[in-house]
Chain A
């Protein structure tokens, strides 16, 4: 989905703010939330994995996504999955929290019952074009490279296609590649000597 999470290349953000004396966790609820995902995820979707987890975060209302801290997003996503899995109701959460309990928006992509077969088409050196499409569900193909041409520079292992994993009990295991794009191809703004290298599943690509 073209959500607020798909941030690569978006403009209008300010400087990177580095916390002084940074701690990995600021409060106990942060690591607790990380662990609660392990409890919730398998009940939301049998053999649920990262795809469903990430999609629950991506489904957050866009303004809330951008104004929440990292672990606030996890709380919202974990609670959303718990409610969707029937483990509790939103009313129970609101009662207990003593106030509104925002959840992520519903899934709008259809459940995948008959996924396409995996493809394995490319080798190092191949020129490829990223498919220009806008899926409603989860994908790991960032928006800023869609339609652009790059070159395969590395072949990595085959992994479960997130687009299927988040919406299905099925698994499609496809090769992944590192694809190199020149800044002139992506942004055409006069930058010299810059490449952006993106890791992509086979079915995100077409021969160019």
Chain B
């Protein structure tokens, strides 16, 4: 069995989880529990891959405007609202990386994440290895993930176990002094705003 799946001519039979998911949706629909417009909303969610652009705009703006950065660190919810972005229900806290401190975010109990700012979380953020290991051996795990944090930089791990959601504000990379805010936005990666990458 090495042939690539060919969805046009020989559709693969649904897997057990696909059958279970379909069974639940069909039964709920047949019993009249599913509201009108459900299919359209599913399709909208499925087709609109929400990216982390909102967070990148927040960070780039903070890099350019020190007063905005101060407001962001003081009250993250109000500061992202200034830029027109929805804030997480329980509030947003922005964590500033500095030459002596690196911040990194996890949810050990499930998968809490600032959806309105960073989009949907990557699969690894929701799975066991990251959730188990980050709080226990962050320097080791970050290095494995390609993010080396030197021993003289403190690591602050943030376990989002209650209602607040976190946004890491990475340091502005060297050599970007002449760049405009618009040019800075694409440099701000999602991983740098979770804290598993340094720019």
Contact = CB atoms under 8 A, between A and B. Distances in A.
Given A75-B17, A199-B163, A82 B90 contact: no
Where chain A touches its partner, the secondary structure class is mixed
A154 B154 CA distance: 19
Contacts of A18: 122, 124, 145
B21 A6 contact: no
A17 B128 contact: no
A175 B23 CA distance: 41
Contacts, number: 212
Interface stretch (B54-62, B134-142, B176-184): B134-142
B70 interface: no
A128 interface: no
A185 B157 CA distance: 14
Contact of B109 (A23, A87, A142): A142
Interface of A: 5-11, 13-19, 22-25, 27-36, 39-40, 43, 54, 57, 66, 69-72, 75-76, 78-79, 82, 87-88, 92-93, 96-99, 101, 140-142, 144, 154, 156-157, 159, 176, 178, 186-187, 191-201
Q: Top 5 closest A-B pairs, CB basis?
A: A8-B108, A199-B162, A29-B21, A96-B23, A31-B45
Interface of B: 16-28, 31, 33-35, 38, 41-43, 45-46, 49-50, 90-91, 93, 106, 108-111, 119-120, 122-124, 126-133, 135-139, 141, 144-145, 151-164
